[in-house]
Amino acid sequence: MIKTRYWLTLLLLAAILAGCASFSASSQAQDAGRLVIYSGRSESLVAPIIEQFSQASGIKVEVRYGNTSELAATLLEEGKNSPADVFYAQDPGGLGAVANAGLLAELPNETLDKVESRFRSAQGLWVGISGRARVVVYNTQLLKAEDLPADLFGFTEPRWKGKIGWAPTNASFQAMVTAMRQMWGEEKTRQWLVGILANQPVVYDGNTAVVAAVGSGEIEVGFVNHYYLYRFLREQGNSFPARNHFMNNGGPDSLVMVSGIGRLATSKNEENALKFINFLLSPVAQQYFAGQTYEYPLVAGVQTEADLPPLESLNSAGITVDQLADLEGTLNLLRETGVLP
Amino acid sequence: MKEPLIKCDHLKKAYHTQPAVEDVSLHVYEGEILAVVGPSGCGKTTTLRLIAGFERPERGEIWMQGRLLSSPDIFVPPEKRRIGVVFQDYALFPHLTVFENVAFGLRKQPHPQVNRQVNQMLELVGLNHLGKRMPHELSGGERQRVALARALAPRPQVLLLDEPFSSLDLDLRLKLREEVRTLLKGMGLTALFVTHDQEEALYMGDRLAIMNEGVVQQLDQPEVIFSQPINPFVAEFMGSANFLPGRVVEQGIETEIGLIPQQVSLPAGSEVELAVRADDIGFDLKGPANGVILSRVFKGVMNVYKVRLHSGMVLEAFQPHYRLFAEGQPVRVFADAGHELACFHNGAAVKGDERHLDGVTKD
Amino acid sequence: MYLPAALVALAMSLPLLYLVVRASAAGRSAWNWLLRAQTLQIMGQSVGLALAVMLAALILGVLLAWLVSRTDLPGRSIWSALLPLPLVIPSYVGAYLFVSFFAPRGLLQNLLEGWLGIERLPSVYGFWGAWLVLTLMTYPYIFLAARAVFSRGDRSQEEAARSLGCSPLETFWRVTLPQLRPALAASSLLVGLYVLRDFGAVSILRFTTFTRAIYLQYQSSIDRSAAALLSLVLILVTVGFLIAEQRIRRSAAENPHTAVHPAEVIRLGGWQVAALGVVFLILLFGLIFPTGVLFYWLIRGLLAGERIANWLGPLLGSVSSAGLAAMVTVVFAFPVSVLSVRRSNWLSQILERWSYIGYAVPGIVVALALVFFGANFVPGLYQTLFMLLFAYVILFLPQAMGSIQSSLRMVQRSLEEAAASLGENPLRVFQRVTLPLITPGVASAAAVVFLTTMKELPATLLLAPTGFSTLATQVWGAVSEAYFARAAAPALILILASSISMFLINHHATLSGSSQRQ
């Protein structure tokens, strides 16, 4: 009896010590210094490229992974005392909030100029790194590409009743609705929302779930971002019965959203931060996004994956990311129409 | 002879760790209190639990008023037996008030009647002002009385009491047992009272059942058991017995303290043991000494002496308070019983000559 | 005792302070939204779900605890160790697995279609799905509490009831169950609050609750003020639950009695099959299916060439933080628990209730509160393990309290008084007399905190030292990006590590519990 207790205690102590050791600040600060990243992009997506940066530059990088909006809220709470150097966000909403609170520092022009003006903040407070396009994912066993309507508004027709899936809580969806409000106007957007609702769409809490559901046949079409499909294809093979359909009509339905990065004004590692941002905009990193995560590289001259339509053909002329960052109106509309609780 | 209210025939029950009941037969008449007594582990509590219906016998039968309650095939569950139980640890329900505890068994009756009965019971045990208290607020004696009131409230046919006073202090114990006996007799209840205290058994019981090692050794009136114990164990258990070896001769039994003129139905020369109670022994300074006083304890009412015979055997003897002998004093010890002594041969009682039985009637 | 308890209560107040500060800046739109009729309906749905889950978890938990500690169910020591395990599965993972299994076109349906040609399964979404999944995940709270009481049961009272005319069922209802009441009240409160503040499961199962609305405020508009306002409302609802629980508990009179005879074992006879069936069914849905799906993902992923990411670091991270959290939380829980049991006046009651604040709001709120205070007031401690542990204490203190309180109630005061009379000062009395007697309860408290910390997410993400990862964060990172295979391995390890800890603590608890009965 006593033996078990001792053994147990020892084990627990060992585990605790090991755990403490694994994170305690190792005082081997390399010459090149350090960098603290708050990343709303998940570890599985960006850890490899960050690791590459760390190896190449010799900078010791510490990353805090989390949900973009939660990290944004954290930054807002931390205020001037934030230990973060850069904020790498999954979508512009979080960046916008942080920027509006005056927490981001202006980026140098040479960095900003690497991407088109529509993919960076107008005040130069943050820059887009990679892009994702809105698509309609459809089940290949039940539909052919020709069966799909020419634009999103077509999905309000009765024949689509019970066959649509969407994730209205998702940031990209809300960005798309914001774009709709800008390009179609408030009224038409409202009609679209109401029309889709009339078709009793199945509600999911994320893009992943929508794609999974389309693949299993639970629904026939879904409104998602393009790159999720590739995860499924990779894990389950090409026989996964779903494919992306790009609307390609220059409207809000083929919106491109970017993940972006900004430097904290209170950062003590300005040089390292800029190095990192520039690294992400370098061909090496951009190729990584194209090849590994199936996103759109935003820097000119980098190849996309074979079957993605070129970036230029998509979008929504005139929509800037800053405009997309304004969510309040969208949220009100979504609540009024009952799409969101 | 009237039929007993409760009859147990050859009960047997065994556990892995708990003491067993080997072969228990007993009977209780209506209106009487049977005290079941014996040393720790003798099976008395198990017997009580068998009667209550908390255990099933492996063999044997339990009858109550012509109704079979337990047998290896038949088993009437405890809630259908109408047998009340007072537990050693009282087992009061801690989440109910005193009133609610006592009223517990009266569920099926209309409210005003319940009220009346409970209050009556509480008054009977002297607790009518404590109805609203919770068990943990009561003293030991009070809890005991609540347990009693609770068991009696539904007017059971029989009451079983399992060492109910064992956790109380002496004064309280003496007081309570008097109250309880009076109460039971006043209500004309039939009861089975289990205790390990021989003195308590003598007080409470109309009849006694002495148990040892899972078997009832003797079941009879206290006086009979006392004067005619059926074996040395019973004799010893009833207290203050010295076992004096002796040899049967024509005139009686030859012992170290002299010839006991008692006839027994054994051939001459047989080796026997006599149970000589401490009050059966006398001392004398006259005559040849066969022993020496070892010690004297003055108890006020009497002196308790230990005297050592020449053979080395030590006897305990009571003497009146005025008969004083010093330690080390040689004395002549003799038998001064005034009645027949219990005599054992090979562990069993030997029948004596019946002429010498002194006016003790048996039912 | 009052001073430490007050300090603990003060510490608990940090989230509340934060909420009040933030909520005061809430804009008009937040207030407008709050006062809609529809919002009331959402609140009603939340409360309704909480109550429904509480009821189901109560019935299930008590039944299973009874089967495992009072009957002759075959294999009951194994079931006893397995049945609390659904607690270790994070709710978002559990819901996800549940859905993938039971979805209209999920795994089960595919299987069944192959065998039996079944095309449609009843819908797993909405209220009933949420109710089912949450019940399966929360019944262990009730189970553990009930089992602790049952295993200390005393035979005499039940026999007394039988001798007074009660059938076995009546005895259970009138004698056994009422004495379970304090333990059941406390644990069902935990269940109810868990449901109220759960976000992961209800969003996957598509049931709109008030907490989901709070999360949306953070997610979509990053409106901390609006979120704070809603959180305060949630706290109000929680207060309602707290008051109700207090009433139901009724000043549980100290019932200290060391069981003289262990309670009799009920023979199930023909019911054995049915009982085993129930146990197996629960384990099937609560443990076997989820683990099965995880294995399926893992194999599928491995076959497709996925590598298993480094899990040793996160494992050590999980175990160390959970272990420390368990110890620290239990220690912090002592002052308040002791006070509320031994000196139950209004002050100690308030202090005790106050400690539930951390449990009343979603984890993200507590996390942000500590971010706010940590970064701005104690930057030296910010993002250290200490802060994280502090967060865990705030979040999980009530869980530890309930168990410690109920085991304290079972210790006779006379024992402590005897020790005092023999010359031991209060601390030594505690150490030599009380502590050994309440070890099973303390172990149970530590176990529950350990398990819930293992799967904790929002506070860990925001407050742990940068670079510190746990199995839970690893799982989340993978699931949120649909890398199921990558999620499967750490999830399985999480379940395994938690199960082993559960077994060990169980073993120790039952050992010391049974040795006390002799």
Using CB atoms, pick whichever of A62, A66, A203 lies closest to residue C467. A62
Q: What is the 3-state secondary structure (H, E, C) of C139-193?
A: HHHHHHHHHHHHCCCEHHHHHHHHHCCCCHHHHHHHHHHHHHHHHHHHHHHHHHH
Domain that holds residue B91: 6-227
Q: Which of B199, B227, B255 is the last residue of a domain?
A: B227
- Asked if residues A268 and A81 have their Cβ atoms less than 8 Å apart, the reply is no
Q: Which residues 123-182 in chain C show a CB within 8 A of chain A? A: none
For chain B, the domain total comes to 2
DSSP A55-99: HHH--EEEEEE--HHHHHHHHHHHGGG---SEEEESSHHHHHHHH
Q: Answer whether B88 touches C (CB < 8 Å).
A: yes
Give the mean pLDDT of chain C.
82
Residues of C with Cβ-Cβ distance to A73 under 8 angstroms: 218, 222, 224, 368
Q: Which of B175, B208, B227 is the last residue of a domain?
A: B227
Is C119's pLDDT higher than 70?
no
Integer Cα distance of A49 and C483 in angstroms: 17
Say if residue B77 is in the same domain as residue B150.
Answer: yes
The length of chain C, given as a count of residues? 518
Taking the model in full, what pTM does it have?
0.78
Interface B-C, measured as beta-carbon pairs within 8 A, has a size of: 79
Q: Which residues 309-328 in chain A show a CB within 8 A of chain C? A: 327-328
* Predicted pLDDT of residue A88: 94
DSSP-based three-state secondary structure for C419 = helix
Which site among C225, C371, C385, C449 would you substitute to test the A interface, given the most A Cβ atoms closer than 10 Å to its Cβ?
Answer: C371
Which site among C158, C159, C163 would you substitute to test the B interface, given the most B Cβ atoms closer than 10 Å to its Cβ?
Answer: C163
Cα distances (Å, whole numbers) of residue C346 to C127, C210, C251, C349 = 38, 31, 12, 5
Q: How many Å is the maximal CA-CA distance in chain C?
A: 77
Say if residue B195 is in the same domain as residue B87.
Answer: yes
Q: Answer whether C262 touches B (CB < 8 Å).
A: no
Q: Answer whether C112 touches A (CB < 8 Å).
A: no
Element (H, E) at A234: helix A228-236
Q: Answer whether C461 touches A (CB < 8 Å).
A: yes
Q: Do chains A and C touch (3 or more CB pairs under 8 A)?
A: yes
> What does residue C207 show for φ and ψ, rounded to 5 degrees?
-120, 125
* Predicted pLDDT of residue A27: 37
C-chain residue closest to A12, CA distance: C323
The residue among B124 and C256 whose pLDDT is bigger is B124
Integer Cα distance of B260 and B337 in angstroms: 10
Residues of B with Cβ-Cβ distance to C163 under 8 angstroms: 52-53, 78-79, 81, 83-85, 151
B300 burial (CB, 10 Å; 0-12 / 13-18 / 19+) is: exposed
DSSP state of C123: P
Residues of C with Cβ-Cβ distance to B91 under 8 angstroms: 154, 156-157, 159-160
Report the CATH number that the domain containing residue B314 is assigned in CATH: 2.40.50.140
Residues of A with Cβ-Cβ distance to C447 under 8 angstroms: none
Which range, of B6-10, B324-328, B340-344, averages the lowest pLDDT? B340-344
In a domain, residue B81? The reply is yes
Which other chains touch chain C, taking contact as 3+ CB pairs less than 8 Å apart? A, B
B225 burial (CB, 10 Å; 0-12 / 13-18 / 19+) is: buried
DSSP-based three-state secondary structure for B302 = strand
Q: Answer whether C253 touches B (CB < 8 Å).
A: yes
* Predicted pLDDT of residue A2: 46
* Predicted pLDDT of residue A15: 60
Name residue, tokens 């602790």: C148
**Which token pair is B52?**
């209550």
Say if residue B58 is in the same domain as residue B187.
Answer: yes
Which range, of A225-239, B112-126, B304-318, averages the lowest pLDDT? A225-239
pLDDT (average), residues B221-249: 86
Integer Cα distance of B276 and B286 in angstroms: 21
Integer Cα distance of B264 and C181 in angstroms: 69
Integer Cα distance of A256 and C271 in angstroms: 63
CB atoms within 10 A of CB C478: 24
Cα distances (Å, whole numbers) of residue B96 to A83, B135, C194, C244 = 60, 8, 32, 21
Element (H, E) at B192: strand B190-195
Q: Answer whether C156 touches B (CB < 8 Å).
A: yes
DSSP state of A339: S
Q: Which domains does chain A have, with CATH numbers?
A: 30-131+256-313 (3.40.190.10), 133-255+326-337 (3.40.190.10)
Integer Cα distance of B342 and A88 in angstroms: 104
Residues of B with Cβ-Cβ distance to C174 under 8 angstroms: 104
User: CA of C236 to nearest chain A CA: how many angstroms apart?
Assistant: 20
DSSP state of B22: E
Say if residue B67 is in the same domain as residue B170.
Answer: yes
Residues of A with Cβ-Cβ distance to C464 under 8 angstroms: 23
Angle subtended by helix axes C435-454 and C484-516, to nearest 10: 170
**Per residue in A141-165, is it b (16+ CB within 10 Å) or e — as a string?**
eebeeeebbebbbebbeeebeebbb
Q: Which of C151, C152, C175 is nearest to C163 (CA)?
A: C175
Integer Cα distance of B57 and B11 in angstroms: 6
Bridge partners of A38?
A64, A87
Integer Cα distance of C143 and C80 in angstroms: 9
Integer Cα distance of C39 and C29 in angstroms: 13
Q: Is C164 close to B104, i.e. CB distance below 8 A?
A: yes
Say if residue B104 is in the same domain as residue B201.
Answer: yes
* Predicted pLDDT of residue C510: 62
The C-alpha angle with vertex C294 and arms to C293 and C295, in degrees rounded to 5, equals 90
Integer Cα distance of B332 and A229 in angstroms: 116
Would you place residue B362 in the very low, low, confident or very high pLDDT band (cuts 50, 70, 90)? very low
Helix, strand counts (H, E) of chain B: 8, 21
Q: Answer whether C331 touches B (CB < 8 Å).
A: no
* Predicted pLDDT of residue B350: 81
Q: Is C159 close to B85, i.e. CB distance below 8 A?
A: yes
User: CA of C339 to nearest chain B CA: how many angstroms apart?
Assistant: 19
**Which token pair is A5?**
């207790």
Intra-chain end-to-end CA distance of chain A, in Å: 56
Residue type at B226 in one-letter notation: F
Contact residues for C284 (Cβ-Cβ < 8 A; gap 6+): none
For residue range B163-214, list pLDDT tens digits in order: 988 888 888 888 888 989 999 999 999 999 999 888 899 899 999 999 998 8
pLDDT (average), residues B284-304: 89
Q: Which residues 43-82 in chain A show a CB within 8 A of chain C? A: 43-45, 62-67, 69-74, 76-79, 81-82
- Asked if residues A74 and A66 have their Cβ atoms less than 8 Å apart, the reply is yes
In a domain, residue B341? The reply is no
Which site among C34, C98, C216, C222 would you substitute to test the A interface, given the most A Cβ atoms closer than 10 Å to its Cβ?
Answer: C222
> What does residue A133 show for φ and ψ, rounded to 5 degrees?
-105, 150
Integer Cα distance of C207 and C130 in angstroms: 7
Would you place residue B113 in the very low, low, confident or very high pLDDT band (cuts 50, 70, 90)? confident
Say if residue B81 is in the same domain as residue B211.
Answer: yes
Residues of C with Cβ-Cβ distance to B84 under 8 angstroms: 163-164
Would you place residue B355 in the very low, low, confident or very high pLDDT band (cuts 50, 70, 90)? very low
Q: What is the ipTM of this complex?
A: 0.81
For residue range C143-172, list pLDDT tens digits in order: 988 887 787 767 788 889 989 988 888 888
Domain that holds residue C330: 2-516
* Predicted pLDDT of residue A4: 53
Say if residue B187 is in the same domain as residue B99.
Answer: yes
Report the CATH number that the domain containing residue B77 is assigned in CATH: 3.40.50.300
**DSSP β-ladder status, B291-298 and A164-166:** unpaired
Say if residue B147 is in the same domain as residue B296.
Answer: no
Is B354's pLDDT higher than 50?
no
Report the CATH number that the domain containing residue C367 is assigned in CATH: 1.10.3720.10
Is B59's pLDDT higher than 70?
yes
* Predicted pLDDT of residue B40: 83
Residues of C with Cβ-Cβ distance to A44 under 8 angstroms: 309, 477-478, 481, 483, 486
For residue range C406-461, list pLDDT tens digits in order: 778 777 666 766 666 666 666 777 777 777 777 777 877 888 888 889 888 888 98
**Which token pair is B137?**
């607020």
Regions of chain A with pLDDT less than 50: 1-2, 22-30
DSSP C42-63: HHHHHHHHHHHHHHHHHHHHHH
The length of chain B, given as a count of residues? 363
Which range, of B43-57, B76-90, C34-48, C107-121, averages the lowest pLDDT? C107-121
DSSP B89-121: T----TTS-HHHHHHGGGTTS-HHHHHHHHHHH
* Predicted pLDDT of residue C512: 52
Residues of A with Cβ-Cβ distance to C231 under 8 angstroms: none
Using CB atoms, pick whichever of C103, C213, C481 lies closest to residue A44. C481
> What does residue B350 show for φ and ψ, rounded to 5 degrees?
-110, 135
Cα distances (Å, whole numbers) of residue C381 to C75, C270, C377 = 49, 61, 9
Q: Which of B202, B227, B252 is the last residue of a domain?
A: B227
Cα distances (Å, whole numbers) of residue C318 to A216, B140, C312, C325, C496 = 34, 52, 10, 10, 12
**Which token pair is B97?**
């008030």
* Predicted pLDDT of residue B359: 44
Using CB atoms, pick whichever of B83, B94, B136 lies closest to residue C163. B83
Would you place residue C112 in the very low, low, confident or very high pLDDT band (cuts 50, 70, 90)? confident
